[in-house]
Structure 1
Amino acid sequence: MPEIPKGFTRLAGSERHLPAQARQIGPADPNERIEVSVYLRDPAGSALAGQLEHQISQPGQRLSREEYLAQHSASSEDIARVEAFARAHQLEVLAVDRAARRLVLAGTVSQLCSAFGTELHYYEHEGQTFRGRSGPLHIPQELEPIVVGVFGLDDRPQAQPHLRFASAAGASAPVETATVSYTPLQVAQLYNFPSGLTGSGQCIALIELGGGYNSEDLTTYFQQLGLKPPTVVSVSVDGGENSPTGEPNSADGEVALDIEIAGAIAPAARIAVYFAPNTERGFLDAITQAIHDTTNAPAVISISWGAPEVDWTRQALTTMNEAFQAAASLGITICVAAGDNGSSDGVNDQKAHVDFPASSPYVLGCGGTRLEAQNRQVVSEVVWNGTASGDGATGGGISDVFPLPAWQANAHVPPSINDQHQGRGVPDVAGNADPQTGYQILVDGQSTSVGGTSAVAPLWAGLIALLNQRRGQSLGYLNPFLYQHYTQLLQQKALRDVTSGNNGGYSAGPGWDACTGLGTPDGTLLLQALLTSSAS
């Protein structure tokens, strides 16, 4: 362990553990120059969370960006203290983002290890090499109340894309499980998305942690659908770029899926794709950059990447959740895929786990169904669970990190099957995700069919862009409205309850469940309910 400087203390929540099978290769190069993002406290404390808890009656209450900056941006005093700390350790201050409450510091590995009381080594794990650390970080005691997280020292891969390609077994499977696929427009028609709306005037943000897209693919894909291609712009975060690998089974598949679903649903929307490295720092910085981007100003953000809650540091969970609070207060809706590995979320400890960031109470967690149709009508919709054939299953369950939100208190969220504790229930809504009833996409010049809850997040994001366009105002933090009015929305058939199936540990049933949440949408009837609510 490194020697901790006098007057330093542990940074709460910064502890990291190495993967069980990680092999240390050697010490990190002391002269390698790296960057870290330092996130600071909200000067208003927990006031923002308190305001959002009471945002029940109708969606759309929000702060202007000017109000947010005045109340919740980093204080000049806090920034000055961190800048002084940086100077004392020969670190360069590359950027200060007051709205995101983030400073970017740069220095050598040696300087940063000294500044934060840690050691960095190179490790090999599952065929990849990363720079990693274990144990906590340390900061001067006077910074303890100010700094909520330091990210970037450890660059191990953090998240997985939640998409699934249809297994080869589907081709020879029994008729009832044979592969069918839909265009996004066909799924939108089955869910009765409102017609005559295009997402004009809206911006949808997509968070991507690898891969890329080819403009030629997008032009061809949308022409095949009879649509004018949407405007797609790439935004670089922490050096991340639109870098297609040429392999459809890579992260390229995720990027194409997200753009093509969101763009087909809302073809006149601007689609801003935030490319960042697949690290805790990259993921967090992409989210805060999208939220506070005044150039593209997205009103809805779609995230199809995540990892089990146990794979995150507490500082990352806390800081990202605070970013989602900021988005909610600014009227930005965030749709997040709930995961594709059933109630275990891919953790092999015989316990149930939920995926983060879908488990944040400030996002719309999106679960998955198997959708079957005949004659342009839904004939069957059940929980997506193709575990037996290797096709995955929708994530969902009870958070081990976040308590039950006030707006979920009457949803009859069951206790965790692990230890009976109460917590945030995941997901909130659902949509078609089974790769055996998947979506037709074009990636790296190849037409293919994919599923996964990765498809559900951009599907809901596209729908919300349409709803925002029609209302003339963004929906923003939608969860309280959906839960408060759930019985009414069911009666109006604006939400369709999915009552059959399971994801391993949890089963569907009437009302909210830990597989499909409140159900799947009838877009037109949901719009009517929202317009009626706004008028009342």
Structure 2
Amino acid sequence: MSSCTRVLKAGSHACRKALLPMALALVLSPLSAHAATTWAPTASHAALLKTLSANSAVAGAPATTSTHYVLNVHGKPQVKELVSPLESTKVLHVAVSLNLRNTSQMQVLIKSINTPGNAAYGKFLTPEQFKAAYAPTDAQVQAVVAHLQQSGFTHISVSANNTLVYADGNASTVGTAFNTTMKTYTHNGKQHFGNDADVMVPQALSGIVGSVVGLQNVSTKHTLSYLGPKVGTQVAATQAVSNVTHSPTEFPGIYDAATTPTAFNTTVGIITWGDMSQTESDLALMTSAAAMNPVNVKVVPVTLGSAVDFSDDSSSDVEWNLDSQSITGTSGGVKQLIFYAAANGKGGPADEELTDAGITAAYNQAVVDNLAKVINVSLGEDETGANQSGTQQADDAIFAQAALQGQTFSVSSGDQGVYLTTNGEFETNAGVVLPAPFSLSTYSVSEPASSPNVIAVGGTKLSTNSGAWAGEVAWNDGVEDAGDGNNRIWATGGGTSLFETAPTWQQTTLGASNRQIPDIAYDASSVTGAQIIIGGQRYSVGGTSLASPIFVGVFARAQTYANNSIGFPASFMYRDFPSNPAVLHDVTSGNNGVTYAGTTYGYNAGTGWDKTTGFGSLDISKFNALAYTWGNTNVPPTTAPPPAAPIALTDDVAVTTQGPAGSSQQFTLVVPNGTASFTVRTSGGSGDVSLYVKRGSAAGASGYDYVSAHPSTNTESVTVRNPVAGKYFITVTSPSVFTGVSVLGVY
């Protein structure tokens, strides 16, 4: 495809010339955008719904009617502020989602790729293969591009998989292109905007354009973390079974990683926004404090039209720190951690607003790159809002491509229990919680957790005993002051989707007709959650934004052991978990609603799968053994990572290491003049390592000055007395998989 298809900016003579035939064809067509008298619907509906109310006659004056607006989310809450036309200077960054082709065939292939014995089993598609078989054609893309150009949109570009067209516009261009009008109002000091009529396209584009994302910010993704106090203020529990926070590196022990290899050969992605500098800095502090190897971090900025602001959003650093540190600690270290960062409006220029379009673009970039085997999403919003805006339709297409490529999106199920509608906000009167502003019996779930092609992860409250798992209940910390003038429920999301059909594995196992969430669950309470470094200080942090990263770390371990051959695992989970209860910690108590006036609302945990914690949490080592059978068992469990430069040891500072069977890890230690002796030791972890030391050049079984190679142990030691000063090379090797081995040099 030409560069004009990739980047089409206003004023580009070459691109205008290349697209001229298509543009002329559209303009001259009786169904073209500017000659059209017939409009076709899309999946994007009005964000602001007009309502009319009658006003009674007063003092002889006739009765009148007035226009009000409600938000097109679950429950339709009324906008109490003045709604007016959106100013023409407001820049709108949109993502036009195009419909996939051959979708029935695609759904069959998703199932076939994950069905042992099928000819397609394990034969994941490449992005190029997906584009050729299922993506919109180049001609369809060009038709959409030409329509946007004629309508006045600028900074037009096309995603590499042809599924999204990005562009900049304003209220006028939106009206011309999509036959809708834009409105605005101010709430809590922030400008809100949205379309007040359904989004339409010319009949010529009917069947091509699925939805238009980015026309509203009244219902958008938000982070799902719950910040607790500094760890230093935590009161230690005295009972044997305790509810306390944990370092992320403790979760492998709590959830029984045992000898399970780390995720050293699996790449993980995280969906974020804004600048990642603080998160990278705090992650480096975390790994250093835990004596772990530094994380190989990559940041991929995802622009949207002219939205290129990646300023720091300090309020969201909590989320990205929680994600990255929890994944790193639980996995024991990954091959690479990729942040897919959407352009950020927090604190940036007024025209750089973060909407769902930016997040959808970040999902898509992770799929287009096809580097991350597992991708964490600790974000969510009211499912009705996402459905009505067309965001759900756009996201579902992306997650379907991921499933075909063998990628797994892990998504937090939500932090407001069954009350996603108004972000879980409650009102109080004299300290008594009231059900206003919504009905306590009206439930909702979070998007994108409700997508059938993601793993939705709910939350638990964890108990430990001497660092080992001792029990879990469904997470529900009750209604608390949210710190923003509102009272909010903090509980695991779960329930039934209003819009998504249940995937075949839920239809078969649960007898469900609509998608049910969550699938599994992990620790989420800030009381028992993670100790996360934020700005150099440790805080307790919870939320399902902790639960999802824990699962990502667990599943990344399994992927490394299975040589990254496991596909999207949902069908295997629902097939195998009911008959393998030892793999699970079944959570059988707790609720994700509230009790009011003697009635308990929400869903209760129970034996087996339920709408609070799904199947429960996973025992890492037992799950790893089961999940290995979901991949290609004809392939050796692990493959060697690429050669790396030796790691320089510092006097009396331990580092941890790991590797596949038969591999070696290299280190160096510089011994200064006048040293009486130095010692190199290995200990802990799993495997059977041997230790080789040589001055001046690489050490190994075929050439060394000193060796310690005791069978069936990782406890090895070499001591050199009156050493010659200089650089000593140290090699740790094992005939089997080794993980979590401490290496220490002391002089």
> Taking structure 1 as the reference length, what is the TM-score of the superposition?
0.89
Query: In the alignment, what sits opposite 1:320?
Result: 395
1:429-440 paired onto structure 2 within 5 Å: 429-440=520-531
Query: In the alignment, what sits opposite 1:392?
Result: 490
Structure 1 residue 471 displacement after superposition: 0.9
Structure 1 residue 349 displacement after superposition: 3.1
1:135-534 paired onto structure 2 within 5 Å: 135-156=197-218, 158-166=220-228, 180-193=244-257, 195=259, 197-209=261-273, 212-214=276-278, 215-237=280-302, 238=304, 239=307, 243-246=311-314, 250-266=315-331, 267-276=333-342, 277=344, 278-294=354-370, 297-314=371-388, 315-345=390-420, 347=422, 348-350=438-440, 351-387=442-478, 392-412=490-510, 422-490=513-581, 493-504=582-593, 505-534=602-631
Secondary structure of 1:130's match?
strand
Task: Name the CA shift for 1:142/1:70 in 2 (closer, same or farther; >3 Å).
Answer: same
Secondary structure of 1:331's match?
coil
Does the 8 A contact of 1:236 with 1:275 survive in 2?
A: yes
Query: In the alignment, what sits opposite 1:417?
Result: none
Query: Does 330-339 or 52-61 show the bigger shift?
Result: 52-61
Task: Name the CA shift for 1:262/1:100 in 2 (closer, same or farther; >3 Å).
Answer: farther
1:383-426 deviations in whole A, cap 9, x for unaligned? 11111566711111111111222101243367xxxxxxx42110
Secondary structure of 2:592's match?
coil
Structure 1 residue 54 displacement after superposition: 4.7
Does the 8 A contact of 2:588 with 2:606 survive in 1?
A: yes
Structure 1 residue 445 displacement after superposition: 2.5
Does the 8 A contact of 1:368 with 1:516 survive in 2?
A: yes
Task: Name the CA shift for 1:242/1:115 in 2 (closer, same or farther; >3 Å).
Answer: closer
Does the 8 A contact of 1:468 with 1:475 survive in 2?
A: yes
Q: Following the alignment from structure 2 to structure 1, what is the Cα–Cα distance between the partners of residues 190 and 472?
A: 39
Q: Following the alignment from structure 1 to structure 2, what is the Cα–Cα distance between the partners of residues 190 and 361?
A: 30
Superposition CA RMSD, Å: 2.8
Query: In the alignment, what sits opposite 1:52?
Result: 110
Amino acid at match of 1:21: V
Does the 8 A contact of 2:219 with 2:382 survive in 1?
A: no
Q: Following the alignment from structure 2 to structure 1, what is the Cα–Cα distance between the partners of residues 260 and 111?
A: 34
Amino acid at match of 1:322: A
Q: Following the alignment from structure 1 to structure 2, what is the Cα–Cα distance between the partners of residues 109 and 502?
A: 45
Q: Which has the higher helix share?
A: 1
Does the 8 A contact of 1:498 with 1:519 survive in 2?
A: yes
Does the 8 A contact of 1:413 with 1:425 survive in 2?
A: no
Q: Following the alignment from structure 2 to structure 1, what is the Cα–Cα distance between the partners of residues 169 and 546?
A: 39
Task: Name the CA shift for 1:185/1:374 in 2 (closer, same or farther; >3 Å).
Answer: same
Query: In the alignment, what sits opposite 2:54?
Result: none
Amino acid at match of 1:449: S
Structure 1: gaps (5+ residues)? 415-421
Is 1:103 the counterpart of 2:201? The answer is: no
Query: Does 471-480 or 101-110 show the bigger shift?
Result: 101-110
Does the 8 A contact of 2:229 with 2:539 survive in 1?
A: no
Task: Name the CA shift for 1:371/1:88 in 2 (closer, same or farther; >3 Å).
Answer: same
Larger gyration radius, structure 1 or structure 2: 2
Q: Following the alignment from structure 1 to structure 2, what is the Cα–Cα distance between the partners of residues 241 and 111?
A: 23
Q: Following the alignment from structure 1 to structure 2, what is the Cα–Cα distance between the partners of residues 35 and 166?
A: 35
Does the 8 A contact of 2:557 with 2:624 survive in 1?
A: no
Secondary structure of 1:228's match?
coil
Secondary structure of 2:257's match?
coil
Does the 8 A contact of 1:83 with 1:93 survive in 2?
A: no
Q: Following the alignment from structure 1 to structure 2, what is the Cα–Cα distance between the partners of residues 192 and 272?
A: 27
Structure 1 residue 156 displacement after superposition: 4.2
Amino acid at match of 2:101: P
Q: Following the alignment from structure 1 to structure 2, what is the Cα–Cα distance between the partners of residues 382 and 353?
A: 21
Query: In the alignment, what sits opposite 2:654?
Result: none
Q: Following the alignment from structure 2 to structure 1, what is the Cα–Cα distance between the partners of residues 507 and 178?
A: 41
Structure 1 residue 478 displacement after superposition: 0.7
Structure 1 residue 358 displacement after superposition: 0.6
Q: Following the alignment from structure 1 to structure 2, what is the Cα–Cα distance between the partners of residues 316 and 410?
A: 28
Q: Following the alignment from structure 1 to structure 2, what is the Cα–Cα distance between the partners of residues 78 and 450?
A: 46
Structure 1 residue 5 displacement after superposition: 5.8
Query: In the alignment, what sits opposite 1:419?
Result: none
Is 1:39 the counterpart of 2:113? The answer is: no
> Taking structure 2 as the reference length, what is the TM-score of the superposition?
0.65
Does the 8 A contact of 1:263 with 1:269 survive in 2?
A: no
Secondary structure of 2:128's match?
helix
Task: Name the CA shift for 1:66/1:397 in 2 (closer, same or farther; >3 Å).
Answer: same
- Greater RCO structure (CA 8 Å; 6+ sep): 1
Does the 8 A contact of 1:74 with 1:98 survive in 2?
A: no
Q: Following the alignment from structure 2 to structure 1, what is the Cα–Cα distance between the partners of residues 498 and 341?
A: 29
1:470-491 deviations in whole A, cap 9, x for unaligned? 111242311000101122331x
Q: Following the alignment from structure 1 to structure 2, what is the Cα–Cα distance between the partners of residues 29 and 354?
A: 33
Task: Name the CA shift for 1:213/1:515 in 2 (closer, same or farther; >3 Å).
Answer: farther
Q: Following the alignment from structure 1 to structure 2, what is the Cα–Cα distance between the partners of residues 84 and 321?
A: 26
Q: 1:27 aligns with which of 71, 85, 107?
A: 85
Does the 8 A contact of 1:301 with 1:335 survive in 2?
A: yes
Q: Following the alignment from structure 1 to structure 2, what is the Cα–Cα distance between the partners of residues 143 and 387?
A: 48
Task: Name the CA shift for 1:186/1:268 in 2 (closer, same or farther; >3 Å).
Answer: same
Task: Name the CA shift for 1:292/1:376 in 2 (closer, same or farther; >3 Å).
Answer: same
Task: Name the CA shift for 1:380/1:69 in 2 (closer, same or farther; >3 Å).
Answer: same
1:449-474 deviations in whole A, cap 9, x for unaligned? 01110011111112222211111124
Secondary structure of 1:158's match?
coil
Q: Following the alignment from structure 1 to structure 2, what is the Cα–Cα distance between the partners of residues 344 and 427?
A: 15
Query: In the alignment, what sits opposite 2:718?
Result: none
Q: Following the alignment from structure 2 to structure 1, what is the Cα–Cα distance between the partners of residues 154 and 260?
A: 52
Structure 1 residue 370 displacement after superposition: 0.9
Task: Name the CA shift for 1:474/1:189 in 2 (closer, same or farther; >3 Å).
Answer: same
Q: Following the alignment from structure 2 to structure 1, what is the Cα–Cα distance between the partners of residues 393 and 330?
A: 33
Does the 8 A contact of 1:368 with 1:456 survive in 2?
A: yes
Amino acid at match of 2:415: D
Query: Does 384-393 or 217-226 show the bigger shift?
Result: 384-393
Q: Following the alignment from structure 2 to structure 1, what is the Cα–Cα distance between the partners of residues 420 and 216?
A: 23
Secondary structure of 2:510's match?
coil
Identity of aligned residues (%): 27
Q: Following the alignment from structure 1 to structure 2, what is the Cα–Cα distance between the partners of residues 227 and 478?
A: 29
Equivalent pairs counted in the alignment come to 519
Query: Does 12-21 or 520-529 show the bigger shift?
Result: 12-21
Does the 8 A contact of 2:494 with 2:612 survive in 1?
A: yes
